[in-house]
Structure 1
Amino acid sequence: MNFIEMTMAEIAGLFLMPVLIILALMFAFAFYELGRFGWEWLMRSLGKDAHQPLQQFWAKNPQADQQEVELQLLRQIEPLRLVSRIAPMLGLVATMIPMGPALMAVANGNFQEVASQLTVAFAAVIIALLSASMTFMTLSVRRRWLLEELKALLKSKNAQPEAKLKAA
Protein backbone atom coordinates (compact mmCIF):
# COMPACT_ATOMS: atom_id res chain seq x y z
CA MET A 1 0.00 0.00 0.00
CA ASN A 2 1.16 3.49 -0.71
CA PHE A 3 1.18 6.41 1.70
CA ILE A 4 -2.25 7.79 0.69
CA GLU A 5 -3.94 4.38 1.03
CA MET A 6 -2.38 3.78 4.45
CA THR A 7 -3.32 7.27 5.63
CA MET A 8 -6.92 6.84 4.50
CA ALA A 9 -7.12 3.45 6.22
CA GLU A 10 -5.75 4.94 9.44
CA ILE A 11 -8.19 7.87 9.31
CA ALA A 12 -11.12 5.53 8.69
CA GLY A 13 -10.03 3.38 11.63
CA LEU A 14 -10.13 6.42 13.91
CA PHE A 15 -13.88 6.73 13.30
CA LEU A 16 -14.83 3.24 14.49
CA MET A 17 -15.06 3.99 18.21
CA PRO A 18 -16.94 7.31 17.84
CA VAL A 19 -19.40 5.68 15.44
CA LEU A 20 -19.95 2.76 17.82
CA ILE A 21 -20.56 5.17 20.70
CA ILE A 22 -23.03 7.19 18.63
CA LEU A 23 -24.82 3.99 17.62
CA ALA A 24 -25.05 2.93 21.27
CA LEU A 25 -26.54 6.33 22.16
CA MET A 26 -28.99 6.08 19.26
CA PHE A 27 -30.03 2.62 20.40
CA ALA A 28 -30.61 3.89 23.96
CA PHE A 29 -32.63 6.82 22.58
CA ALA A 30 -34.67 4.52 20.33
CA PHE A 31 -35.39 2.16 23.20
CA TYR A 32 -36.42 5.07 25.44
CA GLU A 33 -38.69 6.51 22.75
CA LEU A 34 -40.23 3.09 22.14
CA GLY A 35 -41.06 2.90 25.85
CA ARG A 36 -42.61 6.39 25.79
CA PHE A 37 -44.57 5.42 22.70
CA GLY A 38 -45.82 2.23 24.33
CA TRP A 39 -46.98 4.14 27.39
CA GLU A 40 -48.74 6.78 25.28
CA TRP A 41 -50.39 4.09 23.14
CA LEU A 42 -51.60 2.30 26.29
CA MET A 43 -53.04 5.52 27.71
CA ARG A 44 -54.79 6.28 24.42
CA SER A 45 -56.22 2.77 24.14
CA LEU A 46 -57.56 2.99 27.71
CA GLY A 47 -59.21 6.31 26.89
CA LYS A 48 -57.01 8.25 29.29
CA ASP A 49 -55.71 11.73 28.55
CA ALA A 50 -52.79 11.39 26.18
CA HIS A 51 -49.76 13.65 26.17
CA GLN A 52 -50.63 16.61 23.94
CA PRO A 53 -47.46 18.65 23.37
CA LEU A 54 -48.97 20.96 20.76
CA GLN A 55 -51.86 21.89 23.02
CA GLN A 56 -49.39 22.60 25.82
CA PHE A 57 -47.29 24.72 23.45
CA TRP A 58 -50.33 26.71 22.35
CA ALA A 59 -51.44 27.22 25.96
CA LYS A 60 -48.01 28.63 26.84
CA ASN A 61 -47.86 30.70 23.63
CA PRO A 62 -51.40 31.96 22.90
CA GLN A 63 -50.07 34.47 20.37
CA ALA A 64 -48.54 31.68 18.27
CA ASP A 65 -49.87 31.29 14.76
CA GLN A 66 -50.38 28.08 12.82
CA GLN A 67 -46.87 28.11 11.37
CA GLU A 68 -45.28 28.31 14.81
CA VAL A 69 -47.39 25.38 16.00
CA GLU A 70 -46.43 23.39 12.90
CA LEU A 71 -42.78 24.21 13.58
CA GLN A 72 -43.25 22.87 17.13
CA LEU A 73 -44.72 19.70 15.62
CA LEU A 74 -41.59 19.27 13.51
CA ARG A 75 -39.41 19.84 16.58
CA GLN A 76 -41.28 17.05 18.36
CA ILE A 77 -40.56 14.46 15.66
CA GLU A 78 -37.18 15.64 14.35
CA PRO A 79 -35.01 13.53 16.70
CA LEU A 80 -36.93 10.40 15.72
CA ARG A 81 -36.61 11.25 12.05
CA LEU A 82 -32.87 11.88 12.32
CA VAL A 83 -32.16 8.63 14.17
CA SER A 84 -34.32 6.60 11.78
CA ARG A 85 -32.34 7.94 8.82
CA ILE A 86 -28.83 8.30 10.22
CA ALA A 87 -28.58 5.03 12.17
CA PRO A 88 -28.48 2.79 9.04
CA MET A 89 -25.78 4.99 7.51
CA LEU A 90 -23.65 4.80 10.63
CA GLY A 91 -24.33 1.06 10.79
CA LEU A 92 -22.87 0.72 7.33
CA VAL A 93 -19.85 2.81 8.33
CA ALA A 94 -19.33 0.67 11.44
CA THR A 95 -19.63 -2.44 9.28
CA MET A 96 -17.16 -1.34 6.63
CA ILE A 97 -14.39 -0.05 8.93
CA PRO A 98 -13.62 -3.49 10.46
CA MET A 99 -13.81 -5.18 7.05
CA GLY A 100 -10.38 -3.84 6.03
CA PRO A 101 -8.58 -5.39 9.00
CA ALA A 102 -10.68 -8.54 8.62
CA LEU A 103 -9.61 -8.96 5.00
CA MET A 104 -5.99 -8.35 5.96
CA ALA A 105 -6.34 -11.04 8.63
CA VAL A 106 -7.74 -13.48 6.03
CA ALA A 107 -4.72 -12.81 3.83
CA ASN A 108 -2.45 -13.56 6.80
CA GLY A 109 -4.41 -16.66 7.82
CA ASN A 110 -5.37 -15.17 11.20
CA PHE A 111 -8.94 -16.40 11.45
CA GLN A 112 -9.28 -15.39 15.10
CA GLU A 113 -8.81 -11.75 14.06
CA VAL A 114 -11.29 -12.22 11.18
CA ALA A 115 -13.92 -13.50 13.61
CA SER A 116 -13.26 -10.65 16.02
CA GLN A 117 -13.56 -7.97 13.33
CA LEU A 118 -16.68 -9.50 11.77
CA THR A 119 -18.36 -9.72 15.18
CA VAL A 120 -17.96 -5.97 15.62
CA ALA A 121 -19.17 -5.31 12.07
CA PHE A 122 -22.31 -7.43 12.32
CA ALA A 123 -23.18 -6.25 15.83
CA ALA A 124 -22.95 -2.62 14.71
CA VAL A 125 -25.26 -3.07 11.75
CA ILE A 126 -27.79 -5.01 13.84
CA ILE A 127 -27.87 -2.31 16.52
CA ALA A 128 -28.19 0.36 13.83
CA LEU A 129 -31.06 -1.37 12.06
CA LEU A 130 -32.89 -2.03 15.33
CA SER A 131 -32.51 1.64 16.27
CA ALA A 132 -33.79 2.76 12.89
CA SER A 133 -36.72 0.35 13.00
CA MET A 134 -37.84 1.39 16.47
CA THR A 135 -37.60 5.10 15.72
CA PHE A 136 -39.25 4.82 12.29
CA MET A 137 -42.25 2.99 13.71
CA THR A 138 -42.52 5.46 16.58
CA LEU A 139 -42.08 8.39 14.19
CA SER A 140 -44.80 7.18 11.83
CA VAL A 141 -47.47 6.80 14.49
CA ARG A 142 -46.45 9.83 16.55
CA ARG A 143 -46.55 12.02 13.41
CA ARG A 144 -50.15 10.92 12.83
CA TRP A 145 -51.06 11.61 16.45
CA LEU A 146 -49.49 15.07 16.28
CA LEU A 147 -51.26 15.90 13.01
CA GLU A 148 -54.57 14.80 14.55
CA GLU A 149 -53.83 17.04 17.53
CA LEU A 150 -52.93 19.94 15.23
CA LYS A 151 -56.15 19.50 13.28
CA ALA A 152 -58.21 19.52 16.49
CA LEU A 153 -56.34 22.60 17.76
CA LEU A 154 -56.91 24.52 14.55
CA LYS A 155 -60.55 23.53 14.55
CA SER A 156 -61.02 24.73 18.14
CA LYS A 157 -58.99 27.89 17.51
CA ASN A 158 -61.15 28.76 14.48
CA ALA A 159 -64.35 27.95 16.39
CA GLN A 160 -63.49 30.34 19.23
CA PRO A 161 -64.24 33.57 17.28
CA GLU A 162 -67.53 32.06 16.13
CA ALA A 163 -68.50 31.30 19.71
CA LYS A 164 -67.73 34.91 20.68
CA LEU A 165 -69.90 36.19 17.81
CA LYS A 166 -72.81 33.96 18.85
CA ALA A 167 -72.52 35.16 22.45
CA ALA A 168 -72.65 38.83 21.35
Structure 2
Amino acid sequence: MTIQYLIESALYSASQLFMLPVLLAVLLMFFYAFYAVGAFLWQSRQRRQQLPAAYDLLASWQTSPQMSAVELEALAFKRLEAPRIVTRVTPMLGLVATMIPMGPAIKSLADGQLAQVSDHLTVAFSAVILSLVAASLTYWVVNVRRRWYAEELVMIEQAQRGASNTAPLAAGLPDAAHDLVTETA
Protein backbone atom coordinates (compact mmCIF):
# COMPACT_ATOMS: atom_id res chain seq x y z
CA MET A 1 0.00 0.00 0.00
CA THR A 2 1.27 3.38 -0.95
CA ILE A 3 0.79 6.59 0.97
CA GLN A 4 -1.38 7.94 -1.83
CA TYR A 5 -3.73 4.96 -1.54
CA LEU A 6 -3.96 5.40 2.24
CA ILE A 7 -4.76 9.10 1.86
CA GLU A 8 -7.37 8.41 -0.83
CA SER A 9 -8.97 5.69 1.31
CA ALA A 10 -9.02 7.98 4.34
CA LEU A 11 -10.62 10.80 2.32
CA TYR A 12 -13.21 8.44 0.87
CA SER A 13 -14.07 7.01 4.30
CA ALA A 14 -14.29 10.48 5.83
CA SER A 15 -16.61 11.69 3.08
CA GLN A 16 -18.86 8.65 3.55
CA LEU A 17 -19.15 9.48 7.26
CA PHE A 18 -20.88 12.75 6.33
CA MET A 19 -23.61 11.16 4.20
CA LEU A 20 -26.09 10.45 6.99
CA PRO A 21 -25.66 13.80 8.80
CA VAL A 22 -25.98 15.69 5.50
CA LEU A 23 -29.11 13.79 4.50
CA LEU A 24 -30.63 14.43 7.93
CA ALA A 25 -29.78 18.13 7.67
CA VAL A 26 -31.36 18.30 4.20
CA LEU A 27 -34.53 16.67 5.54
CA LEU A 28 -34.68 19.01 8.52
CA MET A 29 -34.25 22.06 6.32
CA PHE A 30 -36.84 20.74 3.88
CA PHE A 31 -39.39 20.39 6.70
CA TYR A 32 -38.35 23.78 8.13
CA ALA A 33 -39.02 25.37 4.73
CA PHE A 34 -42.62 24.21 4.86
CA TYR A 35 -42.91 25.44 8.45
CA ALA A 36 -41.55 28.82 7.33
CA VAL A 37 -44.04 28.96 4.46
CA GLY A 38 -46.88 28.11 6.84
CA ALA A 39 -45.82 30.82 9.30
CA PHE A 40 -45.48 33.23 6.40
CA LEU A 41 -48.96 32.44 5.07
CA TRP A 42 -50.40 32.88 8.57
CA GLN A 43 -48.64 36.24 8.89
CA SER A 44 -49.88 37.24 5.45
CA ARG A 45 -53.43 36.40 6.48
CA GLN A 46 -53.07 38.47 9.64
CA ARG A 47 -51.70 41.40 7.63
CA ARG A 48 -54.62 41.23 5.17
CA GLN A 49 -57.08 41.22 8.05
CA GLN A 50 -55.11 44.06 9.66
CA LEU A 51 -54.49 42.06 12.83
CA PRO A 52 -51.29 42.52 14.78
CA ALA A 53 -49.04 39.55 14.03
CA ALA A 54 -46.35 38.13 16.27
CA TYR A 55 -43.71 38.78 13.60
CA ASP A 56 -44.76 42.34 12.79
CA LEU A 57 -42.34 45.06 13.77
CA LEU A 58 -45.28 47.39 14.35
CA ALA A 59 -46.65 45.08 17.04
CA SER A 60 -43.22 44.86 18.65
CA TRP A 61 -42.89 48.62 18.56
CA GLN A 62 -46.34 49.12 20.04
CA THR A 63 -45.42 46.94 23.02
CA SER A 64 -42.03 48.70 23.40
CA PRO A 65 -42.35 52.20 21.86
CA GLN A 66 -38.95 53.20 23.25
CA MET A 67 -37.25 50.88 20.73
CA SER A 68 -35.13 52.78 18.26
CA ALA A 69 -35.14 52.17 14.53
CA VAL A 70 -31.76 50.45 14.85
CA GLU A 71 -33.14 48.07 17.49
CA LEU A 72 -36.15 47.33 15.31
CA GLU A 73 -33.90 46.69 12.34
CA ALA A 74 -31.81 44.30 14.44
CA LEU A 75 -35.04 42.54 15.45
CA ALA A 76 -36.00 42.22 11.79
CA PHE A 77 -32.60 40.72 10.95
CA LYS A 78 -32.94 38.30 13.86
CA ARG A 79 -36.37 37.18 12.64
CA LEU A 80 -35.03 36.65 9.12
CA GLU A 81 -31.88 34.85 10.23
CA ALA A 82 -33.10 31.23 10.28
CA PRO A 83 -34.81 31.28 6.86
CA ARG A 84 -31.84 33.18 5.38
CA ILE A 85 -29.45 30.52 6.65
CA VAL A 86 -31.67 27.76 5.24
CA THR A 87 -31.82 29.61 1.92
CA ARG A 88 -28.04 29.74 1.65
CA VAL A 89 -26.91 26.51 3.33
CA THR A 90 -29.43 24.04 1.90
CA PRO A 91 -28.17 24.18 -1.72
CA MET A 92 -24.63 23.58 -0.47
CA LEU A 93 -25.76 20.57 1.53
CA GLY A 94 -27.68 19.37 -1.52
CA LEU A 95 -24.49 19.52 -3.54
CA VAL A 96 -22.62 17.61 -0.84
CA ALA A 97 -25.42 15.02 -0.71
CA THR A 98 -25.15 14.71 -4.48
CA MET A 99 -21.40 14.35 -4.63
CA ILE A 100 -20.93 11.82 -1.80
CA PRO A 101 -22.85 9.00 -3.54
CA MET A 102 -21.26 9.76 -6.91
CA GLY A 103 -18.01 7.99 -5.94
CA PRO A 104 -19.72 4.72 -5.05
CA ALA A 105 -21.99 5.08 -8.12
CA ILE A 106 -18.99 5.41 -10.44
CA LYS A 107 -17.27 2.49 -8.74
CA SER A 108 -20.43 0.39 -9.13
CA LEU A 109 -20.60 1.37 -12.79
CA ALA A 110 -17.00 0.26 -13.29
CA ASP A 111 -17.84 -3.05 -11.61
CA GLY A 112 -20.89 -3.50 -13.86
CA GLN A 113 -23.40 -3.29 -10.99
CA LEU A 114 -26.05 -1.10 -12.59
CA ALA A 115 -28.60 -1.63 -9.78
CA GLN A 116 -26.18 -0.09 -7.27
CA VAL A 117 -25.47 2.78 -9.65
CA SER A 118 -29.19 3.45 -9.77
CA ASP A 119 -29.51 3.33 -5.98
CA HIS A 120 -26.66 5.78 -5.44
CA LEU A 121 -27.88 8.19 -8.11
CA THR A 122 -31.43 8.08 -6.72
CA VAL A 123 -30.16 9.25 -3.33
CA ALA A 124 -27.96 11.89 -4.95
CA PHE A 125 -30.63 13.47 -7.10
CA SER A 126 -33.38 13.19 -4.48
CA ALA A 127 -31.25 15.08 -1.98
CA VAL A 128 -30.46 17.90 -4.39
CA ILE A 129 -34.11 18.23 -5.42
CA LEU A 130 -35.29 18.50 -1.80
CA SER A 131 -32.52 20.99 -1.10
CA LEU A 132 -33.44 23.22 -4.00
CA VAL A 133 -37.14 23.14 -3.14
CA ALA A 134 -36.35 24.10 0.47
CA ALA A 135 -34.03 26.90 -0.61
CA SER A 136 -36.57 28.23 -3.10
CA LEU A 137 -39.37 28.32 -0.55
CA THR A 138 -37.31 30.04 2.12
CA TYR A 139 -35.87 32.48 -0.43
CA TRP A 140 -39.39 33.59 -1.28
CA VAL A 141 -40.34 33.93 2.41
CA VAL A 142 -37.19 35.91 3.24
CA ASN A 143 -37.61 38.37 0.40
CA VAL A 144 -41.28 39.14 1.01
CA ARG A 145 -40.73 39.48 4.77
CA ARG A 146 -37.75 41.74 4.14
CA ARG A 147 -40.01 44.04 2.12
CA TRP A 148 -42.69 43.95 4.82
CA TYR A 149 -40.14 44.82 7.51
CA ALA A 150 -38.74 47.66 5.41
CA GLU A 151 -42.24 49.10 4.93
CA GLU A 152 -42.94 48.78 8.66
CA LEU A 153 -39.64 50.45 9.55
CA VAL A 154 -40.51 53.36 7.28
CA MET A 155 -43.91 53.71 8.97
CA ILE A 156 -42.34 53.55 12.42
CA GLU A 157 -39.64 56.08 11.56
CA GLN A 158 -42.26 58.45 10.18
CA ALA A 159 -44.35 57.97 13.33
CA GLN A 160 -41.30 58.55 15.54
CA ARG A 161 -40.47 61.74 13.71
CA GLY A 162 -43.96 62.91 14.54
CA ALA A 163 -44.64 64.11 11.03
CA SER A 164 -46.77 67.22 11.20
CA ASN A 165 -49.02 66.06 8.40
CA THR A 166 -50.21 62.62 9.51
CA ALA A 167 -53.30 62.40 7.30
CA PRO A 168 -51.49 61.40 4.08
CA LEU A 169 -49.28 58.99 6.01
CA ALA A 170 -52.11 57.37 7.92
CA ALA A 171 -54.38 57.10 4.89
CA GLY A 172 -52.58 54.10 3.39
CA LEU A 173 -51.80 52.26 6.62
CA PRO A 174 -53.53 49.29 8.21
CA ASP A 175 -55.75 50.18 11.17
CA ALA A 176 -53.10 49.27 13.74
CA ALA A 177 -50.51 51.43 11.98
CA HIS A 178 -53.07 54.21 11.48
CA ASP A 179 -53.72 54.25 15.23
CA LEU A 180 -50.00 54.15 15.83
CA VAL A 181 -49.33 57.14 13.61
CA THR A 182 -52.20 59.26 14.86
CA GLU A 183 -51.41 58.50 18.52
CA THR A 184 -47.74 59.39 18.09
CA ALA A 185 -48.18 62.64 16.21
Q: TM-score, normalised by structure 2?
A: 0.80
Q: CA deviation at 1:4?
A: 0.3
Identical counterparts, % of pairs: 40
1:100 maps to amino acid = G
Matched, 1:44 2:47: yes
CA distance in 2, matches of 1:44, 1:74: 19
Once the two structures are TM-superposed, the CA of residue 63 in structure 1 deviates from its matched residue by 3.3
- Secondary structure in 2 aligned to 1:64? coil
CA–CA distance in structure 2, aligned partners of residues 73 and 41 of structure 1 = 16
Does residue 129 in structure 1 map to residue 132 in structure 2? yes
Where does residue 56 of structure 2 map in the other structure? 53
Higher helix share: 1
Question: Structure 1 regions of 5+ residues with no counterpart?
Answer: 164-168
CA deviation after TM superposition for structure 1 residue 42, in Å: 3.2
Post-superposition Cα deviations, 1:39-84, rounded to whole Å, max 9, x if no partner, equal 2223434x43252532233344443322111111100111111111
Q: Distance in 2 between matches of 1:38 and 1:63?
A: 29
- Which of 63, 73, 77 is residue 74 of structure 1 equivalent to? 77
1:117 partner amino acid: H
Of the candidates 54, 62, 67, which is equivalent to residue 64 of structure 1? 67
Gaps of 5+ in 2: 167-185
Asked whether the 8 Å contact 2:52–2:59 carries over to 1, the reply is: no
For 1:59 and 1:5, how far apart are their aligned partners in 2?
Answer: 60
Deviation at 1:38, TM superposition (A): 1.9
Q: Aligned partner of 1:127: which letter?
A: L
- The TM-score, its normalising length taken from structure 1, stands at 0.88
Structure 2 counterpart of 1:86, from 79, 85, 89: 89
Separation (CA, whole Å) in 1 of partners of 2:106 and 2:38? 40
- The equivalent residue for 2:99 is 96
